Amino acid sequence: MNKIIKSLLVVGSLAVSTSYAEVVWTPTFYNIQPRTDVKNPVSRSFCFSHIPNTLKTTVSQIKKGMQAENGVYIKYLSYTTIHKHGLGFNTVNADVWTKGAEGTITWHSPMWLYQQNLSDTGVTNVVWATNKCKGKFLGVSSQ
């Protein structure tokens, strides 16, 4: 029975990874901090509660919008990739938002992400910023 389950998991993961957009990624946001270069900077606690912490997604899913484990939503509006010398560079424009108890949006901000990687699967290193916060995330693929 364990062999059957393992085989199904392998087949399922191969089906998911048939295209780059369908690779399952786990982005983990870290080094989250307020931007001090803006008028009316916010606190670190504001940034922690208004930035996604971690989630599992594909590029096609995050383009539709996803909720992170801490309840913050993120949606990629545009995603462009260029390859130079075997390196990948992604530029992403996104939206992040929070919702209240009734499901209405209580806060919203654009997010700009600049990503680099050694291949279309593996690990992606990212720096990002919103209007009030900035930080990094590490995206690890299921490959």
In a domain, 56, yes or no: yes
Region 102-127 average pLDDT = 94
Q: How far apart are CA 13 and CA 27, in angstroms?
A: 18
In a domain, 34, yes or no: yes
Residue 27 has pLDDT above 60, yes or no: yes
Residue 139 has pLDDT above 90, yes or no: yes
Chain length of the chain: 143
In a domain, 6, yes or no: no
Residue with tokens 């989630």: 55
Reported confidence tier of residue 20, pLDDT bands at 50, 70, 90? low
**In total, how many domains does the chain have?**
1
In a domain, 41, yes or no: yes
In a domain, 117, yes or no: yes
Handedness of CA 11, 17, 22, 24 (dihedral sign): positive
In a domain, 1, yes or no: no
Q: How far is CA 61 from CA 15, 65, 66, 75, 120, in A?
A: 15, 7, 7, 9, 17
In a domain, 2, yes or no: no
pLDDT at residue 143 in the model: 72
Instruction: With beta carbons less than 8 A apart as the criterion, state whether 50 and 15 touch.
Output: no
Query: To the nearest whole number, what is the mean pLDDT of the chain?
Result: 87
pLDDT tens digits, 41-93: 999 999 999 999 999 999 999 999 999 999 999 999 999 999 999 999 999 99
Domain with 126 in it: 17-141
In a domain, 48, yes or no: yes
Residue 142 has pLDDT above 90, yes or no: no
What percentage of the chain reaches a pLDDT higher than 90? 78
User: Which tokens belong to 93?
Assistant: 């424009």
Q: Which of 143, 137, 141, 142 is nearest to 68 (CA)?
A: 137
pLDDT at residue 77 in the model: 98
Region of poorest pLDDT, from 11-25, 57-71, 89-103, 128-142: 11-25
pLDDT at residue 14 in the model: 35
Region 96-121 average pLDDT = 94
Q: Which of 94, 95, 92, 96 is nearest to 51 (CA)?
A: 96
44 backbone dihedrals φ, ψ, rounded to 5°: -60, -40
Quick one: CA torsion of 34, 98, 81, 119, rounded to 10 degrees? 80
Give the three-class secondary structure for 135.
strand
